[in-house]
Amino acid sequence: MKIRWILLLILIAPLAEAQHLSLFTSSMYDDNSFSFYEKRADVYHSIFGALSVDTQSDNTYVQGYYYGAVVLFRTYNERTYHVHTLGAYAQIQLNYRAEGAEVAEGAEVAEGDEENLERRAPARQGMETNVTEDAEEITEDAEEITEDAEEITEASEPAAPVEQEVFSDSLVAYLFIVPQVGGRFDQQIWDFYDFQRGSLLMRLRLHLWNGVMLRPHYTVQYKRYPNLEQFTHLEHLGGLLFNRPIGGGFEVFAGVDAGSKSYTESTSDTLWVEDKKSGKGKGGVIPPKAVISQFSTPSTTQVVLSAGIAWDIIPGAELALSYLRRSNPSNEARFINEEAIFGTSEDEIFDDHYGYQSNEIHLQFEGALPGKIRTTNTLQLSDKRYPRTAADLNGVPLPGDPQRRDLRLQLQLQALYPLFRSTDGTGLSVGLTYNFIRNQSNNGYHDFNEHQVAFLLSGDW
């Protein structure tokens, strides 16, 4: 499959005006690689590559890309896996600003609006982070831009390419279209993580009045778990994002999003039992096997409200503070108890954001610092309420049968320094990342802390 996608990209490359290659690698030490109360340290190496081709006319920018990655675990090496994605990105200008027209009061037209910005390879949304979640693993996809609570436990893994606005006139309307297909492939004993997926993202960017920008978006995704069919689903995501500059380098924004996930299996559940076999990896870990029971939830929905303010604190660097509220019309969602599988978290299976309600506060500082250092720093505090009874480490429900509640603090510090850069922006960068997680939970199994330190190397050509 990987070879077919690469060959397809090579075949279409001669039709495009530009080709780009990106490579990324990181080595991370994680003192709690399974993210649960009993710490199991590991070192994992991520290797990521992206190849893209693009073309541009006066009113349209089109890009096709392939990206793939492999994540290698040193201690628990049976967890090694790889992912592959083939996608496209189109930005289409829908209307025109009359020559000589005045900019509306409050509207900010970005530098270079009168010219097309330089063509670039797909942006890598925090390649060294995850944010994400989507808190999915390194295949956190372009269509999941509405998910603001990525799991920082995937921080060593590169994220997927995401859309970027190649043309930037704030008074002109644009349509963005991002189709993707992809998959993840694990070793046999962890192959319940395997999936294949296809998605289509559509987003508009519209100028309304007095500097107010509107970004409606819609995504449809089908995701199949061949070895865990109970989690195969069709998902719809949609929403609106508003933002407006208010002067002094400040901008306010607000959004409303809604999602619905329908499972193809309506009556089956997955429970886990120990198989009592020794592991094949150095760490001697092998996941338990699944047995079938019954589910009560064929589908689930969630509504997300968000608002915040951003400030250009120095040229090229922004500080943003936001609040997000997740609400579920029904308090049911599909999940597997991590207690049976060493605490490993992967959103769709173990900690799907549809499975809890939360209040979240995000603080982020991102941009270029003196000395050409590129930095991304985030602090997130989440109060998550689960429709499950909290229990102690022996699985005994707490007195009064309270619901599980997690108070989660996540800190990420990251800096990239360009070893060399050419005039077109390509070159080689090195960096460091530190992540800290404190998950304070009344469910004993999920009360833990975690430290991650990574060395990064990134190149673009």
> Helix, strand, or coil here: 79?
helix
19 vs 53: CA distance, rounded Å: 4
CA 223 remoteness from chain centre: 16
Q: Which residue spans within 31-129 are E strands per DSSP?
A: 42-56, 60-73, 81-93, 123-124
Q: For residue range 63-104, list pLDDT tens digits in order.
A: 999 999 999 999 999 999 999 999 999 999 998 754 444 444
d(CA 385, CA 443): 11
Tokens of 431: 């960096």
> Running DSSP on this structure, what letter comes out for residue 8?
H
**At CA 433, angle to CA 430 and CA 437, rounded to 5?**
170
Q: What would the two tokens of residue 35 be?
A: 């993210």
Q: Tell me the longest C-alpha to C-alpha distance in the chain.
A: 75
The predicted-structure confidence for 289-302, as pLDDT tens digits, reads as follows 665 555 556 788 99
CA nearest to 239, candidates 324, 355, 362, 335: 324
286-292: list long-range contacts, CB under 8 Å, 24+ apart.
Answer: 286/78, 286/189, 287/189, 287/190, 287/192, 287/341, 287/342, 288/340, 288/341, 290/192, 290/228, 292/268
**Predicted local confidence at residue 194, as pLDDT:** 93
Q: What's the sign of the alpha-carbon dihedral 410, 135, 125, 213?
A: negative
Is the four-CA dihedral 96, 99, 105, 108 of positive or negative sign? positive
- The domain made up of 2-460 has a fold known as Porin (2.40.160)
Question: pLDDT at position 460, please?
Answer: 79
What the block records as the tokens of 395 is 């699985």
How would you write 177-194 as a 3-class SS string?
EEEEEEEEEECHHHHHHC
- Bridge-based pairing of strands 427-441 and 213-224 is unpaired
Instruction: Select from 177, 140, 181 the least CA-distant residue to 157.
Output: 140
Cα–Cα distance list, 180 to 67, 84, 150, 221, 332 (Å):
11, 10, 20, 9, 29
Domain boundaries, the chain: 2-460
| Per-residue pLDDT, 331 | 64
Check: CB of residue 199 under 8 Å from CB of residue 149: no
Distance CA 305, CA 261 (A): 18
Q: Pick from 220, 222, 176, 172: which is nearest to 197 by CA? A: 222
Which residues touch 314 (CB under 8 Å, ≥6 apart)? 367
Per-residue pLDDT 10s for the chain (461 aa) are 445 544 544 444 444 456 888 888 999 999 999 888 989 999 999 999 999 999 998 889 999 999 999 999 999 999 999 999 999 999 999 987 544 444 444 444 443 333 332 222 223 233 223 322 332 332 333 333 223 323 322 333 434 444 456 665 677 899 999 999 999 999 988 888 899 999 999 999 998 888 899 999 999 999 999 988 888 999 999 999 999 999 889 999 999 999 999 988 766 666 665 544 444 444 556 666 665 555 556 788 999 999 999 999 988 899 999 999 999 987 666 777 666 565 566 677 878 888 899 999 999 999 988 888 999 999 999 999 998 889 898 888 999 989 999 999 999 999 999 888 777 767 889 999 999 999 999 999 899 999 999 999 988 77
CA distance 406 to 347: 15
pTM higher than 0.85, yes or no? Answer: no
Q: Write down the pLDDT at residue 265.
A: 77
Burial 447-460 (b: 16+ CB within 10 A, else e): ebebebebebebbb
The whole-number pLDDT of residue 99 equals 46
DSSP SS3 for 343: coil
The H or E element that residue 9 is part of is helix 2-12
| Cβ atoms within 10 Å of 275's Cβ, excluding its own | 10
- The whole-angstrom separation of Cα 20 and Cα 49 is 11
